[in-house]
Chain A
Amino acid sequence: MPRSLDDRETDMIKLYDFELSATCYTVRLMLSLLRIAFERIELDVYPGREHESPWFLAISPSGELPVMNDGGGVLTGVPAILEHLTGAYDPSGRWNPRDEPGVRHGIAQWLAVAGQLNATAGAARLHDTMFQAADIEACRAGAHRSFRALDEHLWFAEQSGHDWLCAAGHPTIADIACFPPVMLSEEGGISRLPYPAIRRWTDRVKRIPHFTPMSGIFNAAPLAAAPTSGRRTSA
């Protein structure tokens, strides 16, 4: 929820943000998972189009959100911001492992997929909710193609004992980047009924400690305290 500007502390990370934006939520989610306090500067993107106003274009010439200012350095877009946050604020090194080439390459691929998901499922959602112009049939068709591939990947990952997009044994920024446009897909008319592996994965993402939802996303039921059998459960 919006924090009053009176609470501003000048050293804090500043996030230029819009509540209903899936890409802004991606960054808010990462900040929550990393337990980083930040100052949220919320723009009236819709209907006010504040991201096109001169004051914001002076900060971010592309007019795109999310934009982050960390100690004077301005970063735009999900990949750059996630790279920066995990580089600077993840002592565990687990969210974006740099010393495992297989995982690193996987993360790069999935960040690209996340971009595609935002361009298809995300654009369909903005069209269906906030009148944003889009070739809606092409967006939905593109989203379904991506979802088919994603569901297949997750299914085979489960068969190999993995719960996440990258075979790292724990979630990475690949999961965080792909989760929002997938989770919000139904707002753009893209049902997840044909993608049961995706539906299991979204539950798992919601159970990551310090997960936070956004307006339109619900929390998952917690798992039982102790496993009921020796069989691996999808946690």
Chain B
Amino acid sequence: MAAGYTPDLVERWFAVARTEEVVPRHVVQAQLLDQEIALWRDDAGAVNAWENRCPHRGVRLSIGLNTGTELRCQYHGWRYATGSGQCTYIPAHPTQKPAATMRVARFGITEAHGFVWVSLGTPAGPPQGPATGCEHATTLRSIYTEASAATIAACLLRGYRFALDPLGADESSPDAVVVAEDAYTLRAKSSHAGEREAAVTFFLQPMGASQTVIHGLLTTHGVAADRLAVLRHHHRQMTALRDAAESR
């Protein structure tokens, strides 16, 4: 529950998943500020962020079924409509209209910059973007880390590396400065000679006090020739970051 978290954390957006991972007929199980969330996309493309708990008997909705228009709870088959979270059908009483009180708690949700963003409150504006002049953006693999966001930020601020070493030799020496925009948004900008400006914006998702998901958005001026090689390079950097944070 968000109880115990300050308003600045409740009333803001956090990235919780890459847009392309919230696939049809699937329920993503996510967690933000100790609140479990069932994240799902309906067949029309709209996304929902619901409390991961059926209001009937408390079963996780993330083990339920996304039918394309509803989430169906695995326990008693209760169905909840996309958007409103309203219960539309109770199989034990098939001819009765469910009461308006039968509704799943919903959280603020939006999509931007290749991510799905959730808020436990009601933020005023849209999520903060990468704020770079680059026209190409690629979301990197999100890294689940057993460490606090503060620990990860501290490790990140030591520096980051953009240059791919084709021989895979020394990938540990940083070649980019990292700047923190706030406790959960950091940016690494490449300054490597011969590289046009590229940046990775890191969005930290606090699952709880000591668990964080590191999301990354790579912005570049051109499209990389070998997309997979670029993804793998940044993946190596980010897992090294995870390992450093976890060993603290």
Inter-chain contact B43/A193, CB cutoff 8 Å: no
Inter-chain contact A220/B65, CB cutoff 8 Å: yes
A159-B231, A218-B74, A228-B43 as given contacts; A193 in contact with B29, CB under 8 Å: yes
A203 within 8 A of partner (CB): yes
Which 9 A/B pairs are nearest by Cβ-Cβ distance? A194-B144, A221-B65, A221-B25, A234-B23, A193-B29, A155-B141, A223-B25, A221-B66, A203-B26
The B interface is mostly helix, strand or loop, or mixed, namely mixed
A152 within 8 A of partner (CB): yes
Closest approach, in angstroms, between the C-beta of B149 and any C-beta of chain A? 15
Contact residues, A170-205 vs B (CB, 8 A): 192-197, 199-200, 203
Inter-chain contact A233/B30, CB cutoff 8 Å: no
Q: How many residues of A contact B (CB 8 A)?
A: 23
Q: Which of A196, A200, A233, A234 has the most CB of B within 10 A?
A: A196
B68 within 8 A of partner (CB): yes
Inside 8 A of A152's CB, which chain B residues have their CB? Answer: 141, 235
Inside 8 A of A228's CB, which chain B residues have their CB? Answer: 24, 43, 45
Interface residues, chain B, CB within 8 Å of chain A? 17, 21, 23-26, 28-31, 36, 43, 45, 63, 65-68, 72, 74, 141-142, 144, 228, 231-232, 235
Interface residues, chain A, CB within 8 Å of chain B? 152, 155-156, 159-160, 192-197, 199-200, 203, 218, 220-224, 228, 233-234
22 contacts between A and B (CB under 8 A): A156-B231, A159-B228, A160-B228, A192-B29, A193-B30, A193-B31, A193-B36, A196-B28, A196-B29, A199-B28, A199-B29, A200-B23, A220-B65, A221-B25, A221-B66, A221-B67, A222-B25, A223-B25, A224-B43, A233-B23, A233-B24, A234-B26
Inside 8 A of B74's CB, which chain A residues have their CB? Answer: 218
Inside 8 A of A156's CB, which chain B residues have their CB? Answer: 141, 228, 231-232
Closest approach, in angstroms, between the C-beta of B50 and any C-beta of chain A? 15
CA distance A224 to B26 in the complex (A): 11
Inter-chain contact B65/A224, CB cutoff 8 Å: no
Inside 8 A of B45's CB, which chain A residues have their CB? Answer: 228
Inter-chain contact B24/A224, CB cutoff 8 Å: yes
Closest approach, in angstroms, between the C-beta of A160 and any C-beta of chain B? 7
